[in-house]
Amino acid sequence: MLILVNLKTYPCDPVAVAEAVRDVDEETDARVAVAPQAAHIERVAATGVETWAQHVDPIDYGSNTGHTLAESVAEAGAVGTLINHSEQRLKLADIDGSVRAAERAGLETIVCANNPAQIGASAALGPDAVAVEPPELIGTGTPVSQADPDVVEDAVDAASRVDDDVSVLCGAGISTGDDVVSAGDLGAEGVLLASGVAKADDPKAALEDLVDPL
Ligand code: G3P
């Protein structure tokens, strides 16, 4: 089970959360990783934690002011990247371009999508994984795996009809170990989560609760 903690632009200490993620990853069979802001990737990766980028642009080296180059996040220490997160939506052609850019840089890819139909389209682009996140549940503390189990099962079906090799994750409102277990029971191979850890008073305790039942 992959548990990817997205720090978004929350005002947390990225290195402190990274150290907690690293320590909990070492204590469990689950794969626990963190996705800080691009500006924090190098400091976060230096802790030894598995580090992901939140986004890469569909570009190559060149005149692309203000864009995020896949090679640069890889060089900073990221091993993978989210693409098309609900808060960083891309056009289909740009999702494709970002997946290709990430592959070129050797980054693992998770393409996010709102619903099962978009999951099918995203799986067709050949990422390593797709993640279904109903936007209306993001940041609510109401877990997708319990509030809308059908969307997770339908996303698993949609991806497997297109490409059985693409893993399916889910996210939105996940903050407890029970939520993670429910996600797994619905066929998800991992979860994306943010506020449950990034906004917790004690991120390490929140992470320990997440992996406890696994
Ligand atoms: O990328 C994960 C995120 O969008 C879910 O956020 O705060 O509902 O766990 P949250």
**What number of other Cβ atoms are within 10 A of residue 201's Cβ?**
6
Candidate from 7, 8, 87, 144 with most ligand 1 atoms within 8 A of CB, to mutate: 8
pLDDT 10s digits, 87-145 = 999 999 999 999 999 999 999 999 999 999 999 999 999 999 999 999 999 999 999 98
One digit per residue, pLDDT tens: the chain, 214 residues? 999 999 999 999 999 999 999 999 999 999 999 999 999 999 999 999 999 999 999 999 999 999 999 999 999 999 999 999 999 999 999 999 999 999 999 999 999 999 999 999 999 999 999 999 999 999 999 999 889 999 999 999 999 999 999 999 999 999 999 999 999 999 999 999 999 999 999 999 999 999 999 9
Give the distance (Å) from ligand 1 centre to CA of residue 180: 13
Helices within the chain (DSSP H only): 14-27, 41-45, 70-76, 92-104, 116-123, 144-147, 149-162, 177-185, 195-198, 203-211
CA 105, CA 201: separation in Å to the nearest integer?
Answer: 36
Domain with residues 2-143+150-206, CATH architecture? Alpha-Beta Barrel (3.20)
Would you list the DSSP string of 76-104? HT-SEEEES-TTS---HHHHHHHHHHHHH
- Confirm or deny that 194 is annotated as ligand binding: yes
Domain layout of the chain by residue ranges: 2-143+150-206
Candidate from 193, 197, 207 with most ligand 1 atoms within 8 A of CB, to mutate: 193
The whole model's pTM is what?
A: 0.97
3-state per-residue secondary structure call for 33-48: EEECCHHHHHHHHCCC
Give the strand pairing for 52-53 and 129-132: unpaired
CB 68 within 8 Å of CB 78: no
Residues involved in catalysis: 85, 133
Give the distance (Å) from ligand 1 centre to CA of residue 61: 31
> Closest ligand 1 atom to the C-alpha of 195?
7
